[in-house]
Amino acid sequence: MKWNPELPATGRMWIATTLATVAGAIGLRAQEVVDLPREDLPLSPDFELVYRIGSTEAEAEWEEFFTILGVGFDGAGNLYLLDGAGTDGGRRVVVVDAAGRHVRDFGRPGGGPGEFQMATELIVWGDGRTLVRDRMRGYHVFDPSGQFERTVREAGPGIGIAIGTRSGLRPERTGSQTVVVRDERSILRIGMSSAEAEDRVLAEAWAPRAPTEFPAVADFEDMLDRMGEEWGFEPEVLFDALPAGGVAFSDSSAYAIKVTDASGAISRVLRRAIRPLPVTERMRRAERERRLEREANRQFTQRGGEPPAGVREMINRVRATQRAALENMRFYPEVPVVAAVQVTWEGSLWVERSSEPGTSEPGPIDVLTPDGRYVGTFAVGQLAMPDAFGPDGLAAFLETDEFDVPVITIRRLPEQIR
């Protein structure tokens, strides 16, 4: 379902309030506000097929994948896949060249240098260096040939809390070994060139409510307190890295994409007059039930069998706290217009708009240029957002076949939407 009416006075007030809040948060800086066209200009999703790998019909052993946990391209068009198995996380990285031929595998489960205990994310820099995020061990860095270089750990007491609050790693393509990541409502730039991660705030997003205070040194009870509040339809911080070092991000229910320079200063706001969908009681019930079902189906596994009684008690308390929070969750009044923001290798912005809650098909995807030109829109259900963009218009799409085995399709985008 798509909404594209002219924005009423209340919607214009919401955008104005949001932009004023952002301006206040970053100080008085020159910002260009670009109002994009209201009407959609159709784009064709008929992209050139480059190659396809995976599925139950895979002929070679190397392309028998279990679960793809991360995907990325290097500057030569090589594709990197973090292949995993269930709840244990990634077990290997598979490298495929620009023609779909196997190049190498590297990484394996274990506790030694460059071995994974619970690998969950992969990023690839332009020169072919890779970084694998491991929830148990920090970040593993490999050189372009797949040889282990070093482990990077978070600064401060305890790795689990720091990594646990950060999501959505994105590689910077500025030639340095840096990444950007979201931590609560902040977007951080993290240097990964030494044994300890060096981070700083790149941009502060608008916060729709006061953040929950969290002590610098947290214990189990602090964690439970933090889990005691759940909100439905809260505007997320959706972002991606721009080729020159800045980011593009969305942080409100309105259609307002903020574009920063390499210092994090917002230089441009791209907006469309598309109204957020009001949240109904039916949506609230369905969202609560969906999240309760997801929590009930969440599995916990422990290497070596059943965990000790004390650990099991902690797990039960966490799950009880989470369920109580979901049963009493509160809701924002509108469904955010923007569902995802991604940036192509060349720097175009792909902005996926929300579909109606409860529907399975993806929403429409707008293609914009960072300087504020609207290129066009892929209609509802026409196209899923690519899982990774590469050079020369390459785009990776992850799917599964009828047996839930991963299938990776690489297509080439026309120049106008790269």
Question: Which of the listed ranges 110-114, 131-135, 373-377 does the model predict with the highest average pLDDT?
Answer: 373-377
The answer, yes or no, to whether residue 7 has pLDDT greater than 60, is no
Give the C-alpha separation, 248 to 268, whole Å.
9
Tokens standing for residue 188: 């951080």
The answer, yes or no, to whether residue 40 has pLDDT greater than 80, is yes
Mean pLDDT for 253-279 is: 97
pLDDT of residue 417: 96
Percent helix, strand and coil across the chain, each to the nearest 5:
20, 35, 45
Instruction: Report the run of H or E that residue 326 belongs to, with start and end.
Output: helix 309-327
Give the C-alpha separation, 235 to 273, whole Å.
17
Tokens standing for residue 37: 């066209």
Q: Read off the pLDDT of residues 138-185 as tens digits, 9 standing for 90 and up.
A: 999 999 999 999 999 987 544 444 445 688 999 999 999 999 999 999
The answer, yes or no, to whether residue 284 has pLDDT greater than 90, is yes
Give the C-alpha separation, 141 to 367, whole Å.
33
In this structure, are residues 152 and 138 in contact, taking their beta carbons and an 8 Å threshold? yes
Tokens standing for residue 267: 């230089």
In this structure, are residues 383 and 365 in contact, taking their beta carbons and an 8 Å threshold? yes
Q: Read off the pLDDT of residues 165-176 as tens digits, 9 standing for 90 and up.
A: 688 999 999 999
Cβ contacts of 198 within 8 Å, gap of 6 or more: 155, 190, 191
Mean pLDDT for 184-193 is: 95
Please state, as a whole number, how many other Cβ atoms lie within 10 Å of the Cβ of residue 49.
9
In this structure, are residues 367 and 45 in contact, taking their beta carbons and an 8 Å threshold? no
In this structure, are residues 233 and 334 in contact, taking their beta carbons and an 8 Å threshold? yes
Domain extents in the chain: 9-279+332-417
In this structure, are residues 227 and 165 in contact, taking their beta carbons and an 8 Å threshold? no
- Domain covering 9-279+332-417 in this structure, CATH number: 2.120.10.30
Nearest one of 265, 234, 257 to 25, comparing CA atoms: 265
411 alpha carbon, distance to own chain's centre: 21
Tokens standing for residue 283: 């949506």
What are the backbone angles phi and psi of residue 372, rounded to the nearest 5°? 100, 25
Q: Read off the pLDDT of residues 340-381 as tens digits, 9 standing for 90 and up.
A: 999 999 999 999 999 989 888 899 999 999 899 999 999 999
pLDDT of residue 161: 43
The pLDDT confidence band at residue 242, using thresholds 50, 70 and 90, is very high
Mean model confidence pLDDT for the chain: 88
The pLDDT confidence band at residue 229, using thresholds 50, 70 and 90, is confident
How large a percentage of the chain has pLDDT more than 90? Answer: 72
DSSP secondary structure letters along 369-397: -TTS-EEEEEPTTT-PPPSEE-GGGEEEE
Q: Is the pTM higher than 0.85?
A: yes
Give the C-alpha separation, 5 to 106, whole Å.
51
How large a percentage of the chain has pLDDT more than 70? Answer: 85
| DSSP-derived 3-state class of residue 38 | coil
